[in-house]
């Protein structure tokens, strides 16, 4: 096995000018949730797995008792209508652990993208607010100035020099290293409180991506998941309040 | 010396379809205790040592004043009866320190296994409970669905998606990377409180392995060690209670 | 992309015996502030960008919504007068994260320097005092004993064996690895309290560099920045005092 | 520059069956103190410098204002009498920072040793006690059982399986990796309280090494340094006692 290894699990698909969409684990798991939902909805087909010596030395356990080495996964989907484009979708268990590992990972992802003729990349992630948000906005950054206006039309928001710390991880690096190869890329970052996985933010990101790709996606499952998470968040809050009250009671007693 | 170096200390043994059994240091040292006991019991022969630049830069001191570089060790054992199989046994001082080091280590172990014609791997480890357990169960995960049923027959337990965090380290990686090579592998994880080395858990794991390999192993020494550890655990607990009592006495005085 | 990659963004400039001046991020950002001010003042031309897999996996966001991979930047400036020399100026977002990354980075910078015929290097940085300083002195260290006397004439200060911990990072390594190649190098370290970026210290460093290079640089902007920073430092101090007073008041009440 | 680079600063010396003696920084700096004192006493000649990308990216400042990249240094000394042997002496600023860096460093040192025909290695270090010691003993470990008896005669002490944690760092690794090459090596570890650099322990180690090598070394300077350190240790202790007394006084007042 090389430092990064790609293993095809189907014949290499023939794709026409495909769009690469990335959603790896990150802030609020927004990108991963969004791409996984997209993959399920459009019934994309897994065609390759990526392994890296910079991923943790770990296997996960499937429900049937079998193991799987931690990995990233490539899916494809072929356009059904004239206003659609072929898609390559990327998700996975981990990003690289080290700086060098991240660069190697992204270089290999870009190699795959270019091998299948992709010149356009969308990376999905979260933008941590540190507080709750009713209607998460979707921040945007892009490799090319000419993409700013169209992305605004799709509902994405550009805030001057935001995020202030730039974009860290695969979502940023795919654009940065892609830019050096002449690829066009855009990153969508859904606002998220950070505390928990955030299907609501993932939905906000997907809504924009749907407008761009013209794929048909039922978002109701993400909405259900969002309600579940809200319920959990509510419960956590109550537990916190109860323990606060108790400790105050104790103060009165003590 | 390469990043990982194998050094043969005997002529390469001729083995027939051997089973690889791994027990490196880990949770409760369950795997290492089990494989070391197995090696001693069946009088397996050391044939190779493995060094890695990702092991600590360290030598250990033997009782006679000589040093030895930290390493992993390969032993072999030849089947004596028809219902037995040749064995390769692996134990050692350390696993790799870094992710990359773990991947390199395991790739080299698998190379050895394949060189001697091994297609079947058993990895042994502990499953940390965080509390004491009277009769440790042995959890199981495997590379192939077809292995689940026979392993259950041997007494191993499958719990849906357990361990939740997957299997980290050489025990998991040997299965994960082995699976990519088409090797069949099974991991046995003995339940253990984690606090101390756990010969009782090692015994539970070995009991299953004995049924699979049909080797004759006297487990009484492991039982004695288990009693010693229980004695030490008991003493530690008493010391804790005494210091608790004392601090409570002090509260009454103070 | 290699571990370190240089990307020319103009035709390679023809330079005559140029001086290399480095100012990467560091203590008080003194070096970076100084070189950036110099680049702006003399209208130096960017000709190459350097990327490294040991930089963080990160892009920064420009005011127009486009991204840029983190990098170092090379500028050149051609002498206008007889008493001037061609210059190569280096600044950037980061130094290497790891030891090896730092060595690789500096080796690549020296390769560029030598490719353009440079035999003389000035590296700029800060010397952390841990307290405020009215008139920051500029400490100096050099690759060659013959450079000590001239540097003193330019106003730099040599203190026996200072800094006691040596010079850590690119400013030190450019001299150390340059020395092994037979290049002459000098490091100027402006005294700085460390707490904040320090344009006053950068100005002190630049004043000496101006005498050496005979370039014309208006330092008024650095002076304005220094006043801003002093204002901020003053405000921070007041806030601290207020909170101290408050907590003392509370003590009287409580 | 390679990962590890050797730079000769004289013509390669012609040595006859030389002994390699290592004293790099470590516990109580015992090894480094001992070898540096030996180098000064016998007027050994520096012939090579070693640089590593796994050393910190750092230069030190000489008293004359010049810098030097951090490094290890090789010295040689030619036997003057029949009962003496040629010597290679190794000291330096640092050991490697990472495991891999340590292995690479030691492999390169052994390459040098073998290039000059050395088959015998002595490594010097400290053995941390955590408390003061009037007459530090010198613990010993060795690559060959046949060396135990002669080393005992020279005054070294073997304690069963001590040090329990083995020997970590270059002093251990030179023996461990040397052993794999068929070289004979012995490590002397002077007992030391650990708190401060320890010339007394260095002297104890050197006394044994002098018996082995039959070189003439005046140990009085080490004795003077030991007295200085004892004086400092005494002062530190008094300061500690004073502050303890004060805090007790305060308790009576408060």
Q: Which residue of A has its CA nearest to B176?
A: A69
Chains C and D form CB pairs within 8 A to the count of 86
A57–B106 CB contact, under 8 Å: yes
- Output phi, psi for C215, to 5 deg: -85, 155
Peptide bond into D163 cis (omega under 30): yes
D69–C176 CB contact, under 8 Å: yes
Q: Is D178 in CB contact (< 8 Å) with chain B? A: no
At residue D108, the 3 state secondary structure works out as: helix
D54 contacts on C by Cβ (under 8 Å): 99-100
Unique residue bearing structure tokens 């890695």:
B52
pLDDT confidence band for D254 (50 / 70 / 90)? very low
- pLDDT of residue A251 exceeding 60, the answer is no
Closest chain C C-alpha to A195 CA, distance in angstroms? 23
Question: What is the average per-residue pLDDT within C48-70?
Answer: 97
Q: Which residue of D has its CA nearest to B9?
A: D180
Q: Looking at the DSSP assignment, which residues form a beta bridge with residue C66?
A: A142
B–C contact: 3+ Cβ pairs < 8 A: no
Per-residue pLDDT at B254? 42
Q: Within the 5-44 window of chain D, which residues sit less than 8 Å (CB to CB) from chain C?
A: 7
Of C141, C165, C173, the CB nearest to D57: C173
- pLDDT of residue C24 exceeding 70, the answer is yes
Closest chain A C-alpha to C242 CA, distance in angstroms? 28
CA dihedral D203, D204, D206, D207 (to 10 degrees): 110
Of C54, C59, C101, the CB nearest to A166: C59
DSSP C5-36: EEEESSPPP--SSPEEEE--S-GGGHHHHHHH
Report the neighbours of A using a cutoff of 3 or more CB pairs below 8 angstroms: B, C
Per-residue pLDDT at B234? 86
How buried is C44 (Cβ within 10 angstroms: 0-12 exposed, 13-18 middle, 19+ buried)? buried
B53–D99 CB contact, under 8 Å: yes
Torsion sign across C-alpha atoms D8, D13, D14, D17: negative
Which of B154, B161, B165 minimizes the C-alpha distance to B188?
A: B154
B62 contacts on D by Cβ (under 8 Å): 161
Q: Is C53 in CB contact (< 8 Å) with chain A? A: yes
Per-residue pLDDT at A84? 97
Q: Which residue of C has its CA nearest to A107?
A: C1
A148 contacts on C by Cβ (under 8 Å): 64-66
Peptide bond into A7 cis (omega under 30): no
Closest chain A C-alpha to B176 CA, distance in angstroms? 5
Closest chain B C-alpha to A176 CA, distance in angstroms? 25
B–A contact: 3+ Cβ pairs < 8 A: yes
Higher-pLDDT residue of A111 and D247 is: A111
Per-residue pLDDT at D200? 96
B165 contacts on A by Cβ (under 8 Å): 58
Q: Is B184 in CB contact (< 8 Å) with chain A? A: no
**pLDDT digit string (tens) for A48-81?**
999 999 999 999 999 999 999 999 999 999 999 9
DSSP A136-167: --EEEEES-GGGHHHHHHTT-B--TT-STT-E
- pLDDT of residue A242 exceeding 90, the answer is no
Exposed e or buried b per residue across A26-61, where buried means at least 16 C-beta atoms within 10 angstroms of its C-beta: bbbbbbbbbbbbbbebbebeebbbbbbbbbbbbbbb
- pLDDT of residue C83 exceeding 70, the answer is yes
Question: What is the average per-residue pLDDT within D188-214?
Answer: 95
Higher-pLDDT residue of A6 and D252 is: A6
Q: Is D194 in CB contact (< 8 Å) with chain B? A: no
Give the single-character DSSP code of D157.
Answer: B
Q: Is B4 in CB contact (< 8 Å) with chain A? A: no
Q: Is A158 in CB contact (< 8 Å) with chain C? A: yes
Interface test with B, best of A53, A64, A65, A97 (most B CBs within 10 A): A65
Q: Is D163 in CB contact (< 8 Å) with chain B? A: yes
Q: Which residues contact D179 (CB under 8 A, 6 or more apart)?
A: B67, B68, B69, D143, D185
**pLDDT digit string (tens) for A76-89?**
999 999 999 999 99
Q: Is B166 in CB contact (< 8 Å) with chain A? A: yes
Peptide bond into B152 cis (omega under 30): no
B69–D145 CB contact, under 8 Å: no
Q: Side-chain half-sphere of B22: how many Cα atoms within 13 Å?
A: 33
pLDDT confidence band for C254 (50 / 70 / 90)? very low
H helices present in chain B, as ranges: 30-42, 99-115, 148-153, 170-180, 199-213, 220-253
pTM of the model: 0.93
Q: Is B219 in CB contact (< 8 Å) with chain A? A: no
**pLDDT digit string (tens) for D105-156?**
999 999 999 999 999 999 999 999 989 999 999 999 999 999 999 999 999 9
D167–B66 CB contact, under 8 Å: no
A173–C58 CB contact, under 8 Å: yes
A65–B141 CB contact, under 8 Å: yes
Q: What is the CA radius of gyration of chain D?
A: 20
Model ipTM value: 0.93
Q: Is D110 in CB contact (< 8 Å) with chain B? A: no
**pLDDT digit string (tens) for D144-159?**
999 999 999 999 999 9
- The parts of chain B modelled with pLDDT lower than 70 are 244-254
Q: Which residues contact A113 (CB under 8 A, 6 or more apart)?
A: A18, A20, A88, A121, A178, A183
Which of A52, A56, A143 minimizes the C-alpha distance to A104?
A: A52
């Amino acid at each position: 096995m090389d430092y990064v290894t790609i293993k095809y699990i189907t014949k290499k698909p023939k794709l026409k000018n495909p769009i690469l969409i990335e959603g790896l684990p990150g802030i609020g798991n927004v990108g991963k949730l969004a791409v996984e939902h997209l993959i399920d909805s459009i019934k994309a087909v897994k065609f390759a797995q990526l392994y890296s010596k910079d991923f943790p030395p770990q296997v996960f356990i499937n429900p049937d008792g079998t193991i799987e080495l931690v990995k990233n996964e490539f899916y494809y989907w072929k356009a059904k209508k004239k206003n659609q484009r072929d898609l390559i979708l990327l998700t996975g268990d981990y990003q690289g652990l080290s700086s060098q590992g991240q660069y190697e990972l992204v270089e290999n992802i870009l190699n795959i993208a270019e091998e299948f003729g992709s010149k356009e990349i969308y990376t999905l992630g979260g933008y941590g607010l540190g507080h709750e948000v009713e209607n998460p906005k979707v921040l945007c950054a892009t490799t090319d100035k000419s993409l700013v206006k169209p992305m605004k039309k799709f509902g994405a928001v550009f805030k001057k020099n935001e995020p202030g710390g730039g974009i860290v991880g695969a979502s940023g690096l795919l654009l940065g290293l892609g830019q050096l190869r002449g690829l066009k890329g855009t990153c969508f970052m859904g606002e998220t409180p950070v505390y928990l996985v955030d299907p609501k933010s993932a939905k906000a990101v997907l809504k924009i991506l749907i407008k761009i790709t013209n794929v048909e996606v039922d978002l109701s499952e993400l909405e259900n998941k969002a309600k579940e998470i809200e319920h959990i968040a509510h419960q956590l809050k109550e537990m916190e309040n109860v323990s606060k009250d108790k400790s105050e009671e104790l103060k009165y007693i003590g």
